[in-house]
Amino acid sequence: MKHLVFILMFAAFAIRIADANEPVSIVVIVNPASGVDHLTRDEVIDIFLGRYRKLPSGRAALPIDVAESSAERERFYQLLVKKSPADMSSYWARLVFSGQTSPPFQVPDSKTALELVQSNPNAIAYVDRASVGPGVKVVLEIKP
Amino acid sequence: MKSSPESRRRWFARFLPRSIVARTSLSILVLAVVMGLVFSVMASWRVRAAEHDRLIARVHELTATVESTVSIACFLNDATLAKEIAGGLMKNRIVAGVRITSGPKLLYSGGVVEAADGRAARIDAFPQTIYSPFDQKNEVGRVTLYVSSAEIEAQAAAYSRYTIWILSLQVSIVAAAVAFLVYLLVTRPIKGISDELHRLEIRSGMRLAWPSGNRKDEIGQLVLDVNGLIARLTDALANERDLRVAQEISERRMRLVFEKADTGILVLDARGAVQSSNPSFVRILGPGAALPGAKLDDLLRPHGPLVAELIESASAADEPREADMEVDLGPGRGKIWVELSVNRLGPNLLQGLVNDITERKRAEVAARELAARDPVTSLLNRRGIDAALVQVLERPIESRARPALLQIDLDHFKAVNDTHGHDAGDQVLRVVARVLERAVRRSDFVGRSGGDEFQVILAGVEQAAIALEIANKIIAGIAQPVDIGAGVLVQVGASVGIAMGSGEYEAPASFLRRADEAMYEAKQGGRGCARIAPAAVTEPEDSAAA
């Protein structure tokens, strides 16, 4: 039992090291029918942080966040605006009472987000580079 | 109205209390008020400036505080959030108004954002550029705080007033504490010493109490020193009192000596005026001596010049000068002899001693007379004759009267002596003496120089003839028979030599020799006769036989 715990801890450590050593890009994806081929970093920031909820094609944008505890979400915001999940919570909390804008729509995991983008031309989401599947279009790759 | 510094000071002093306690307290109080005022003015100016700076910094701080939220509001163009922020800012009294813009779009503008009256309510704008919360290089808006200068000034002034209050309170408390401490440590002990010293009686031997709180400091030292001085003063006073008593006793004793002395004691000045004298002086010289302004040379008449001379020489020398003098005290008292001794006491001051020596002088005269008399005949003896001769010959010649000396030698006296004895001889001598005394005037002198030789000195005769006449009268008288007792009569004779004085001075010895030579001539001439001696060598011839 003792040995098992030790092994698990070692494994977790090893995985973390593997993560750091092998950076994985985050990509922003949209529905191919959205009419958008490419987004700038600032445009992605404006959409996800609530400044403009419109795509350059004129279509309303529906940004999708994965669950707060997920690694993708943390890495996405870290890479995009250099903010931690706590910073982001604080940011949105300040806007709660003004009611003019709201956080992105939240889904449980990347798979759901992917499905949502595949089915909704307004949707815009982020996933690991490796998780990109068919039926979505990568409009921005954010490299670490 | 003129006001010299002196009078101004006096005018000012009228308002100062005299008590050291009140004066010290008042001084400290005045000093505290003045210093408090000075410090307050300085502090208020400084505090006001500092408070002003602080308020300005506060405005910047406020801006900094809301910067991140404003940044979000500008980023999202969120007017609601902007209003929220502005509302929070405006709760600060110094913030008069807020304006938040996001690019060209006005998110919020509220409160006083422009000067309504440029002068009375000046409004300062504090703008701050706002950057995106996600990109520090991306300018997303601007927030401007409007602050009323009047409000800032008022707040600074209020704070300054508050500071002055605190400062004044502090200075007052410190002043009160200092005044109290000075009173406790310095003024009260000094006042205590001062009061005690004021009541102190040196004679009673009182001492100052040693203040318990100040034993080791200067006040304790002061008390010790004062007590030391008092002790020395008391000793000095006691000494002086003893000395005075001793001096009084001594003075009384001296006075007693002075009063009771038989010697007349006086103090006189260089002019001979009597300054003071004792009772004996008055007793000796009479009541005139007690009169004020009596002069010694007047009192000792007729010896004024001698007295003046004594005074002068005693003043010059430091030795006593003395002289005997016979003083005429006028009717009643007659003549007395006094001995005057003059001693220098100081400049222009002399001491005189006057002794009545009349008795002594009388005894002296009696003794001298005794020594000058022949005990058998009571006539002058040889010494007496010499003295009389000196006196007569040295007397100044005033008229034509001249002295004359009669040298008388008895004839046949040896026979009487041999036949009838010495007593009979003495008897004859006494009878002869009476004959001679009867033959001359009282001013003349009669003496026996020894054996059967007699001398008669005529004080003054105008002519030799008169001397001769007297000589003959003497010869006749002596020739009378003498009863020597038991009815026995004896007879002697006399030979006389006469020397006449001239106008010039002649030595007594020469005078005697001339008379003697004349007497021998008379004896050789047959006895019982008189011869006149030739004049002295210097004298022109004036002699003649009887």
Topology adopted by domain B22-157: Beta-Lactamase (3.30.450)
Is there a domain that residue A3 lies in?
no
What is the C-alpha R_g of chain A? 17
Letter for the amino acid at B191? K
Q: Do B77 and A51 touch (CB under 8 A)?
A: yes
Name the residue facing B134 among A81, A98, A101 (closest C-beta). Answer: A81
Query: Using one digit for the tens of pLDDT, what is the confidence trace for B345-394?
Result: 888 888 899 988 888 887 777 777 767 788 888 888 888 888 888 888 87
Return the half-sphere exposure (C-beta side, CA atoms, 13 A cut-off) of residue B11. Answer: 7
A138, pLDDT greater than 90: yes
Secondary structure class of A15 (helix, strand, coil)? helix
Closest-approach residue (CA) in chain B for A100: B78
Terminal CA-CA length for chain B = 122
Task: Please check whether residue A97 touches B, CB under 8 A.
Answer: yes
Query: Using one digit for the tens of pLDDT, what is the confidence trace for B500-538?
Result: 988 777 888 888 999 999 999 999 988 889 999 888 765
A63, pLDDT greater than 90: yes
Name the residue facing B72 among A82, A91, A97 (closest C-beta). Answer: A91
Q: Which residue has the tokens 């008593």?
A: B245
Q: What angle do CA B3, B4, B7 make, to 5 degrees?
A: 80
How sure is the predictor about B541, in pLDDT bands with cuts at 50, 70 and 90?
very low
Is there a domain that residue A14 lies in?
no
Among B72, B85, B108, pick the best mutation site for testing chain A contact (most A Cβ within 10 A).
B72
Question: A92 lies in which domain range?
Answer: 23-142
**Helices B358-372/B382-394 angle, 10° precision:** 110
- The CATH number corresponding to B261-356 among 3.30.420.40, 3.30.450.20, 3.30.2000.10, 1.20.120.530 equals 3.30.450.20
Three-state secondary structure string covering B144-206: EEEEEHHHHHHHHHHHHHHHHHHHHHHHHHHHHHHHHHHHHHHHHHHHHHHHHHHHCCCCCCC
Residue B51: CB atoms within 10 A of its CB come to 20
Closest chain A C-alpha to B82 CA, distance in angstroms: 9
Structural domains in chain A (count): 1
How sure is the predictor about B543, in pLDDT bands with cuts at 50, 70 and 90?
very low
Predicted interface score ipTM higher than 0.85: no
- Read off the DSSP letter of residue B536: P
B2, pLDDT greater than 70: no
Distance between CA atoms of B92 and B309, rounded to whole angstroms? 124
Task: Please check whether residue A79 touches B, CB under 8 A.
Answer: no
**The token pair that represents B316 in the structure block:** 């010059």
Question: Comparing A60-74, A108-122, B261-275, B361-375, which segment has the lowest mean pLDDT?
Answer: B361-375
Answer for the pair B489, B468: CB distance below 8 angstroms, yes or no.
no
Terminal CA-CA length for chain A = 38
Distance between CA atoms of B130 and B330, rounded to whole angstroms? 147
How sure is the predictor about A23, in pLDDT bands with cuts at 50, 70 and 90?
low
List phi, psi (to 5°) of A92. Answer: -70, -35
B474, pLDDT greater than 90: yes
User: What are the start-end ranges of the H helices in B261-357?
Assistant: 279-285, 296-299, 304-316
Average model confidence (pLDDT) across chain B: 84
Q: Which residues of B4-20 are buried (b: 16+ CB within 10 A; e: fewer)?
A: eeeeeeeeeeeeeeeee
Answer for the pair A118, A31: CB distance below 8 angstroms, yes or no.
yes
Task: Please check whether residue A49 touches B, CB under 8 A.
Answer: yes
C-alpha distances out from residue B128 to B64, B85, B88, B125, B472, Å = 9, 14, 17, 10, 179
Considering the domain B373-532 in this protein, what is its CATH number? 3.30.70.270
Closest chain B C-alpha to A92 CA, distance in angstroms: 10
Is there a domain that residue A131 lies in?
yes
Distance between CA atoms of B257 and B197, rounded to whole angstroms? 46
Closest chain A C-alpha to B147 CA, distance in angstroms: 27
Answer for the pair B381, B446: CB distance below 8 angstroms, yes or no.
no
Q: Do A95 and B134 touch (CB under 8 A)?
A: no
Distance between CA atoms of A47 and A54, rounded to whole angstroms? 7
Q: Do B76 and A50 touch (CB under 8 A)?
A: yes
User: Residues of A with CB below 8 A from B131's CB?
Assistant: none
Is there a domain that residue A18 lies in?
no
User: Residues of A with CB below 8 A from B72's CB?
Assistant: 91, 94-95
Q: Do A94 and B80 touch (CB under 8 A)?
A: no
Q: How many CB pairs under 8 A join A and B?
A: 38
Residue B482 region by backbone torsions, left for phi larger than 0, else alpha for psi between -120 and 50, else beta: beta
Look at residue B463 in the predicted model and tell me its pLDDT. 87
C-alpha distances out from residue B9 to B1, B6, B34, B504, Å = 15, 5, 20, 98
- Read off the DSSP letter of residue A34: G
User: Residues of B with CB below 8 A from A49's CB?
Assistant: 75-76, 134
Name the residue facing B81 among A82, A83, A95 (closest C-beta). Answer: A95
Secondary structure class of B210 (helix, strand, coil)? coil
Q: Do A94 and B72 touch (CB under 8 A)?
A: yes
Residue B96: CB atoms within 10 A of its CB come to 22
B115, pLDDT greater than 90: no
**The token pair that represents B328 in the structure block:** 């005429």
